[in-house]
Amino acid sequence: MTSIDFEGREIPIEPGDTIAAAVYRSGVRIFSRSFKYHRARGVYCGTGDCPNCSMTVDGDPAVRTCVTPAVAGQKVERSTGWPSAGFDVFGTLWWLRAFLPVGFYYKSLHQPAGLWSVAEGYIRKLAGLGDVPIGHPPGNPERRYHHPDVCVIGGGIAGLAAALAAAAGGAQVVVCDEGGVGAKLPPGPLASRVAALRDLVRVSPRVLLIEHATAVGIYEGPLVPIAGPDALHLVLPKKVIVATGASERHGVFKGNDLPGVWLARGAALAVGRDRLTLGRSAVVAIDTEAGLESLEASRGADVPVAAVLVPAALAPRVPGGAPVIVGGRLVEALGRRRVRGAVIDGPAGHQRIACDTIVLALGFVPRDNLVRQANAGPVEVSVAGDVAKPGESFAAAEASGRSAGEGNPPAMEPAPLPAAPRNGFVCLCEDVTAADLDLAWHEGYQGTELLKRYSTVTMGPCQGAMCHGHLRSFVAERSPVPMLSGATTSRPPARPVRLEDVAAGARYPLEWHTALHDRHLEMGAVMEWAGIWKRAERYGDVLEEYRAVRERVSIMDVSTLGKYQIAGRDATAFLERLYPCRVADLKPWRSRYALLLNEAGYVFDDGLVGSLGGEGYYCTFTSSGADAMESWLRDWAESWGHSVRIVNQTSTLSAINVAGPRARDLLAKLTRDPVNARSIPYSGMSRITVADVPCLALRVGFVGELSFELHHPRLESVRLWDALLTAGAELGIKPHGLEALRLLRLEKGHIIVGQDTDFDSSPAKLGLEWAVKMDKPDFVGRPGLLRLASIPPNRVLRAFTFPGKEAPLDGAQLLAGDERVGFLTSSRFSPALGHGVALGFVYRTPNGFPTNVLAVDGTGRLLMGSVAPTPFYDREGVRLRA
């Protein structure tokens, strides 16, 4: 025999058992403790509609055990109660309820300041409901996308009939069911018919049946996410049919939450399907014809029926043998930890009946959350079966489903409201009683939406399945305004769903790799995120990498730069209008540093723009800006009606920067093309072949040394990299990573957009006015700059030096006297200069912008610095122009 582990106890399970059935059979009656008062709760609905049987299963909290199959080896425990759910000392809270009225925390826990943050932790622990399973091994669900013609939500008789009818009409159909199809049905003609339809669905090539899968919501599209056991199914159908059926109406009376009170279908399932014994004596309250079947089920289990409460119309149909109280009404369930009796209000007045089971057959409520969700948006859905007309015969439900599948769905009939609640628990999830609603009403929360927000009624895990109708009837009795008693808004998730399912397929961040990624790893590089890319941060000793650039020769993978070719009739006019620098006067095969401004005149990217002669222009952008630049360029081209060809070559071309005083010597070993200063001067470009790899060489100066950026076909990148390293060995070559680059460029005072800029960094704030030609008639950002010209900048980027052998950390705060006057954006110790160098923003003070500052960086150091001109290193630019 197989078993599950229930709180350390082995509990046998039988084939077809739900967890709840197995636990109940073992003698457990208290399945949970309630949210606020820690009231004892037992199995109630048996159909997954209420919260009472929620437990933690294999670490997953809030699992509805009445609809979850028992699987051998499961670890099951109740989530609430101390020392146990069976005996919970916090059950005494019920006797303190006068001090815990609805919304008590709004009234009492707001003063003194900070009280709530302390109280919240205790309240959360008291509430129970399990813990988020942090550290739980991820189930790693994937996503599946489906594009059927029809999505049917609900695999009951109506849903299956709808699916088959739609498929017969040639449609592709996805149908989902929360449990196994038919799992919520007791043995009988309906179960047999559903099984027959299920078999037809399973062999239909046009229907995909997804069982044990919960429809989370209905979104625009329409899009129906369905959390299944294996994956999150994202269904994008042309049409949605909701056939979610109906839940049984919740009964609200004093003591209505005691273990031993059952909704009739749950009782019938427990007896007929799970072969459980409910008790020794039952009171059955019947309001509808369908309730008579529940009476039969109870009788079939040999539970003596102590009384049947029934309306006069149904009285003649009550089978003989049971005492019938015509017109009788349940007033109270007696007992503390479980039902011990019932108080009936009947023709003979109040009457106490000893019993241990109360079965409620009070009618049906459509499970219409999804319909209300869809109707709140622009999605039209069809309905079928009980959700359209609760309580109809199963033949009628099948016909209704068939019609919906054929394109003639039934109209949705408004469900009648129950009698207004007088006593007892309206909302089982949130422990909201009729008295709570009454208090809230008198405090001014007069309407369903207001009561919902104030008392949290309908906001628990069952999402109003039990209490929504009672809330509406409560308001309707007190106000004649229909709007106040209207249905509340329904939002996803319609049913509980695991966070893991919501995040299905999202655990795989896109990690862009250059062609040299594997080479970097082979060389022992420490990789780091740089925007969307993974880049080499260092290969070993950063200082050694730095020295290779300053003293010998080094290479760096700069393939991540944005690389675009711009051609076409209007290419020059387009770029002239795009950039704040001049473009039209660029000589062929020369390039220029260029800022990119947004419409407000703020810097958001930078790079080079170079002329390719008759081939148009070659533009580079920062690595982090590469991805978004294409749409930005296209937007402007379209706005201006320019005929340009914008070709994104970021992925097509790789780039390696060869830098250092011996860079030319290295290239000369690998190319027959001239690379002297006259052939490729500083800021010049040329097409050369290096190690048999065709390259566009750009003379650049970011690191402040003689540098050639070799842009080349991606598939040739490894070959070129290897050739450079091999040929450079005798020159002492060493590759450098991002950290060395940050230091090298800082010594030149070059900014990194994003690090040394902010969202409102104008060229003037950055000291880059020289890169902007305001005498041009128009360019992106020019109107913004004209406006900014009349506003003195409140802060500016300045360069600082820090004497001594230390430099503050990036982000260090700057003080002048006692006043905070700015912060550093980049800061390093300069090996070449022997002191700290930095860039940072300083704010305007009454005495102007501070020139002497004290840097505080959280390490305990206080470093004096002063404003200095840039570049710090090679001020005349002799080295990079070599």
Partner 1 sequence: MLKVFSTEAAIIACHAEPAALGRLAAPDGGFVARIAPDEVWLIGRRTARAELVRRAEEEVGAPAGDGFVADQTDGWAIWSVGGALVREVLGRLTIIEIPAAAPAFVQGAISGAPGKILVDGDVAHLMVPSPLGHHLRDRIVAVCGDLEPALDEPRAFVLSVGAR
Tell me which residues touch partner 1 (CB under 8 A).
142-147, 234, 236, 505, 508, 510-515, 517, 533, 565, 567-569, 614-616, 643, 645-647, 649-653, 713-715
Q: Which one, 533 or 779, has the nearer CB to partner 1?
A: 533
Measure the CA–CA gap between 697 and 699, rounded to whole angstroms: 7
Minimum distance from residue 236 beta carbon to partner 1 (Å): 7
Q: Which one, 505 or 732, has the nearer CB to partner 1?
A: 505
Minimum distance from residue 512 beta carbon to partner 1 (Å): 4
Minimum distance from residue 683 beta carbon to partner 1 (Å): 24
Q: Which one, 192 or 652, has the nearer CB to partner 1?
A: 652
Q: Which one, 713 or 793, has the nearer CB to partner 1?
A: 713
Measure the CA–CA gap between 149 and 169, rounded to whole angstroms: 11
Minimum distance from residue 793 beta carbon to partner 1 (Å): 38
The full DSSP string for 173-215 is EEEE-SSSTTTT--SSHHHHHHHHHHHHHHH-TTEEEE-S-EE
Q: What distances in angstroms separate CA 119 from CA 89, 113, 122, 124, one per listed residue?
A: 19, 11, 5, 9
Residue whose entry in the numeric block shows the structure tokens 């509808």: 288
Residues forming a β-bridge with 325: 309
Residues forming a β-bridge with 528: 535
Pairing of strands 3-6, 9-12: antiparallel
Minimum distance from residue 150 beta carbon to partner 1 (Å): 15
Q: Is the peptide bond before 112 cis (omega within 30 degrees of 0)?
A: yes
Minimum distance from residue 686 beta carbon to partner 1 (Å): 18
Q: Which one, 446 or 689, has the nearer CB to partner 1?
A: 689
Minimum distance from residue 623 beta carbon to partner 1 (Å): 11
Residue 698 phi, psi dihedral angles, 5° rounding: -120, 125
Q: Which one, 653 or 690, has the nearer CB to partner 1?
A: 653
Q: Which one, 104 or 145, has the nearer CB to partner 1?
A: 145
Minimum distance from residue 622 beta carbon to partner 1 (Å): 16
Measure the CA–CA gap between 217 and 495, rounded to whole angstroms: 8
Q: Are 344 and 331 in contact (CB under 8 A)?
A: yes
Minimum distance from residue 215 beta carbon to partner 1 (Å): 18
Pairing of strands 231-235, 142-146: parallel
- The two three-digit tokens of residue 571, written as one number: 């290419």
Minimum distance from residue 500 beta carbon to partner 1 (Å): 16
- The two three-digit tokens of residue 542, written as one number: 């950063």
Q: Which one, 714 or 773, has the nearer CB to partner 1?
A: 714
| H/E stretch holding 297 | helix 290-300
Minimum distance from residue 143 beta carbon to partner 1 (Å): 7
Q: Which one, 517 or 519, has the nearer CB to partner 1?
A: 517
Q: Which one, 9 or 143, has the nearer CB to partner 1?
A: 143
Q: Are 189 and 183 in contact (CB under 8 A)?
A: no
Minimum distance from residue 687 beta carbon to partner 1 (Å): 14
Pure H helices in 457-612: 468-478, 499-502, 517-522, 542-551, 571-578
Residues forming a β-bridge with 816: 819
Q: Which one, 146 or 592, has the nearer CB to partner 1?
A: 146
Q: Which one, 458 or 514, has the nearer CB to partner 1?
A: 514
Q: Is 288 helix (H, G, I), strand (E, B) or coil?
A: coil
Minimum distance from residue 780 beta carbon to partner 1 (Å): 22
Measure the CA–CA gap between 760 and 797, rounded to whole angstroms: 12
**Residues 6 or more apart from 523 whose CB is under 8 A from it?**
536, 539, 735
Q: Which one, 168 or 715, has the nearer CB to partner 1?
A: 715
Chain centroid, CA 185 distance in Å: 35
Q: Which of 554, 557, 518, 524 is nearest to 539 (CA)?
A: 524
Q: What distances in angstroms separate CA 815 from CA 300, 767, 822, 827, 862, one per listed residue?
A: 85, 21, 7, 16, 10
